[in-house]
Copies of this chain bind each other. A is one copy, B any other.
Amino acid sequence: MSQSSSVKTAIAQSWVASANTGVTDFPLQNLPYGVFSTAAHPQPRVGVAIGDQVLDLAALEAAGVLTPSAASRVFDQPGLNAFIALGRDAWRATRARLTQLLDAGDAKLRDNAALRAAALVPLSEVSLHLPVDVPGYTDFYSSKEHATNVGSMFRDPANALLPNWLEIPIGYNGRASSVVVSGTPIHRPNGQIKLPDAARPVLEACRKLDFELETAFIVGRNTALGESIDVAHAEDAIFGMVVLNDWSARDLQQWEYVPLGPFNAKTFGTSISPWIVTMEALEPFRVAGPEQNPAPLSYLTDGAAHAFDVELEVRLQAEGDATPTTICRTNFRHMYWSMAQQLAHHTVSGCNVRVGDLMGSGTISGPTPESFGSMLELTWNGKQPLTLAGGGTRGFIEDGDTVSMLGWCQGNGYRVGFGEVSGKILPAKAR
């Protein structure tokens, strides 16, 4: 055995060789959950990504090799909700079991050719679906840099950050019906646009179409109306995370958002990555978040580190361009408010949450211009256009453009990746 392979052996290895490359998003350390189907078996069901394969958990469940037992049939479902509802002990037991079954040294699945053939499907052959039924979608606004940038452009540069922002993990209710999985094309929305020199608005196709780079967490348990979740236990109620593109129509937004917040500017589509990376897989990447000054009210703080080191990247590819252009590089660790704080605040009123609820981070902008998480900020409201690899320039997103967002945690010799959330913009529908 060469030295390099013996070094690699220090890292957990799978008998699925493509999981051991060091650059795959889906090594043995990750095991993210998704919902997939194939041409041969079009019924959507739960799987786990491993290297360039999907492990079909419905097949393993049927074969009786999983905990929870096959009797519960939580994986032969079109969403992860039933499995998530089993609770954290079941998540941990299943992760432990899958880690064992996929381990290079474990023979049970590795040496069972029939079961392996039934349960391993190449990623290239699957269609990926929304991983959970999303009963509720909440979007937060937790990047200080983003809130400051938007406040400067939409309101007043001298008072960009509103007084409540440093006290409240500000959030609002999003539209759950239009949450779609990566790959779903999105029509440019029509809506009311009020031009500065016009007396009245017009109904037109959005002229300032934007993305927002976000992550989101998936709620892992139901609470009762009136119940709140303490910040110290909030992460126990989170199943995992995805990358999220909060498509935004800036011209619609600016005209409609006072006083009740964004509505049609956001409801035409929200895209998420198909694989839910679990909190267990993210645990090695826990870091301290930014200093919070003033210290938050006590219901929002327990002294623990609740940020995670997730690298993020946005790429834009114009139709006809041979390659995408990376237009943003940032990190989830910059977020001022943590997921634990967001969930504690969401429920402090007694608002009940449900398994599968999707809670977006808000646009993730870092401190430097290339780390801004939206076109609005990257081009400063279109005034400083970006140049693409193919030579085109962009103030906002044009028809035919594809926006892709990638996220990963860089380990020592491996990465825990989110895959990507991608979406192509189609022309507005004729009216």
- Enumerate chain B residues within 8 angstroms of A187, measured Cβ to Cβ: 225-226, 350
Q: How far is the CB of A135 from chain B (nearest CB, A)?
A: 7
Q: Given A173-B175, A225-B269, A350-B268, do A259 and B257 touch, yes or no (CB 8 Å)?
A: yes
Tell me if A353 counts as interface (CB < 8 A to partner B). Answer: yes
Cβ-closest chain B residue relative to A174: B173
Copies held by the complex: 2
Chain B residues, Cβ within 8 Å of A351: 175, 177-178, 264, 267-268
Residues A402-431 near B (CB distance < 8 A): 429, 431
Q: Quick one: which of A303-343 are within 8 Å of B by CB?
A: none
A176 proximity list for chain B (CB < 8 A):
135-136, 176
- Measured CB to CB, the nearest residue on chain B to A269 is B225
Report whether A202 and B260 are in contact in the complex, using a CB–CB cutoff of 8 Å.
Answer: no
Q: What is the bound-complex CA distance between A176 and B201, given in angstroms?
A: 31
If over half of A's interface residues share one DSSP class (helix, strand or loop), that class is named, otherwise mixed; here it is loop
Asked if A164 lies at the interface with its beta carbon under 8 angstroms from chain B, I say: yes
Q: Would you call A400 an interface residue if the criterion is a C-beta within 8 Å of the partner chain's C-beta atoms?
A: no
A354 at interface (Cβ–Cβ under 8 A)? yes
Q: Are B264 and A261 in contact (CB under 8 A)?
A: no
Could you mark each residue 249-262 of chain A with 1 if its beta carbon is under 8 Å from any beta carbon of chain B, else 0? 10010011111111
Q: How far is the CA of A228 from the CA of B178 in the complex (A)?
A: 13
Is A168 on the interface with B (CB-CB < 8 A)? Answer: yes
- A215 interface contact, C-beta 8 A: no
Nearest Cβ on chain B to A174's Cβ, whole angstroms:
6
CA distance A353 to B176 in the complex (A): 10
Contact A180 B225 (CB under 8 A): yes
A189 within 8 Å of B (CB atoms) = yes
Is the beta-carbon distance between B167 and A192 smaller than 8 angstroms? yes
Known: A186-B226, A190-B228, A268-B351. 18 other contacts (CB 8 A): A135-B135, A136-B175, A136-B176, A162-B258, A167-B200, A168-B201, A171-B260, A171-B263, A173-B175, A177-B353, A178-B351, A190-B350, A203-B297, A249-B349, A257-B259, A258-B259, A264-B349, A269-B350
